[in-house]
Amino acid sequence: MRPVFTIADNIISPLAFGTASNYAAICRGESGVRQHTKPGIAPFPFYAALFDELADTSHIDTIAGNFTKFERLLIASAKDALGNAGIDPADPRTLFIISSTKGNVSLLEDDKTVSPSAIGLASSAAKIAAHFQSPNQPLVISNACISGLTALLTGMRLISSGKYDHAVVSGADIISSFILSGFQSFQAISAAPCRPFDVARNGINLGEAAATIVLSSDPAQSKLRLAGGAVTNDANHISGPSRTGEELALAIRQALHRAALTTADIGFISAHGTATLYNDEMESKAFGLLGMNAIPINSLKGYYGHTLGAAGLVESAIAITTLQQQEMPGTKGYAVSGVSQPLQLSDKTVPVHAKHCLKTASGFGGCNAALVFSR
């Protein structure tokens, strides 16, 4: 089994284009979440992080070809990451992996009779791979809110086994009336900026983002290692998280075991922290079960909202930068703990001394994922 390295990344969010400028913005406490009045998306004002706030969209607008907004964002993100990766996307040893929950679902809103292939994630992925002249069939992962982490884990495995040398892992989701109305129907949307792990938290903000992480077997340009990962299922409820956190704890334990590390090696945790009552409580129980209460931890949902299929990649790219800079962005919206287990949360950027970090996520269908990155 070969080690797998992260060699380049990109984030496109309403805050900024590029990982470095995103990291700088959130370290300054800036958030892309604000109130919007958009009758095309919802009949009432709502808080979300939407792309029309992004000041410079030239990287996205200048992509030539017949692409949807979703596809254009993925291409712009992959292109920027590839520009820093120094690998050839057309190489047969390079694989493209796409992560999304709903992809082009907004096409359904404009035309109910839209062809299944136009809306399908497989055809979007094929168009993106063709744009980069990749000779390989791309993979598409659609695993609810853990999609981005599952996509990274899949890429890591296909490189470690020698099947490929590089993987370009990109994820995106667009917020439309389909998605917003659905979360609203669950009463999961907060009427104000979200407050992860806080006593006053009352739901999520949705967000738009695209992100890419390039994985490689070649340490020459390496930033860090993707050292291990695991996925588990709660086997409890399709839309509510585990009551005990045991299954997320199991994923963390397995990811650490596969990385040949223990909880004591982890310098900080990038949690899912959606700011729903049940998710954040479940996560605190999982970290509590593993005795990880004293490890610095954050949630980035207060800056980006919940970016669904992009979330695992956006948050991993920030975690990678945090490992390099040794400064961890705070949890925007957090003031007073509202979970049963004590956690090392702060709303301010804090210094960390981390050689390894943990990234977690959980989603509908009862799925949990954990990845370990190492410096």
Partner 1 sequence: MTEPCYITASCQITPGKVVKDGALLMENENIAPISYLQWLYEQKGYNYPKFYKMDGLSRLGWLAAECLLEGSFDKNRYAPEQVGLICCNRNSSLDTDTRYYDTVKTIPSPALFVYTLPNIVLGEICIRHQFRGENDFFIFERFEPVFLQAYVQQLMQENVFEACICGWLEFLGEAYQACLYLVEKPASKNSVPFTTATIQTIYENTHG
For position 34 contacting partner 1 by CB under 8 A, the verdict is: no
Query: Per-residue b/e over 233-249, b at no fewer than 16 CB within 10 Å?
Result: ebeeeeeebbeebbbbb
For position 142 contacting partner 1 by CB under 8 A, the verdict is: yes
CA–CA distance, 19 with 80 (Å, rounded to integer): 10
**Burial of 159 by CB count in 10 Å (0-12 exposed, 13-18 middle, 19+ buried)?**
buried
- Name the segment binding partner 1 (CB under 8 A); options: 78-86, 151-159, 280-288, 295-303: 151-159
The CB density around residue 47, as the number of other CB atoms within 10 Å, is 20
Q: Which of 35, 37, 161, 340 binds partner 1 (CB under 8 A)?
A: 161
Segments of 66-208 assigned E as strands: 94-99, 139-141, 166-173, 206-207
Residues, the chain = 375
Crossing angle, helix 246-258 and helix 277-289, to 10 degrees?
A: 50
Q: Which of 54, 140, 226, 317 binds partner 1 (CB under 8 A)?
A: 140
CB of 44 to partner 1, least distance (A): 13
| Mask for 227-266, x = binds partner 1 (CB under 8 A) | ---xxxxxxxxxx-------x--x---x------------
For position 135 contacting partner 1 by CB under 8 A, the verdict is: no
Between 142 and 221, name the residue whose CB sits nearer to partner 1.
142
| Mask for 113-132, x = binds partner 1 (CB under 8 A) | ---x--xxxxx-xx------
Cα separations in angstroms, 209 against 81, 238, 305: 15, 25, 9
Between residue 175 and residue 214, which ones bind partner 1 under the rule CB under 8 A? 177-178, 181-186
CB of 162 to partner 1, least distance (A): 10
The one-letter amino acid at 273: G
**Burial of 351 by CB count in 10 Å (0-12 exposed, 13-18 middle, 19+ buried)?**
exposed
Size of the site for partner 1 (CB under 8 A): 55
Phi, psi of 82, deg, nearest 5: -65, -35
- Name the segment binding partner 1 (CB under 8 A); options: 78-86, 282-290, 324-332, 358-366: 358-366
Between 177 and 325, name the residue whose CB sits nearer to partner 1.
177
| Site residues, partner 1 (CB under 8 A) | 1, 101-103, 105, 108-109, 112, 116, 119-123, 125-126, 137, 139-144, 150, 154, 157-158, 161, 163, 177-178, 181-186, 230-239, 247, 250, 254, 363-367
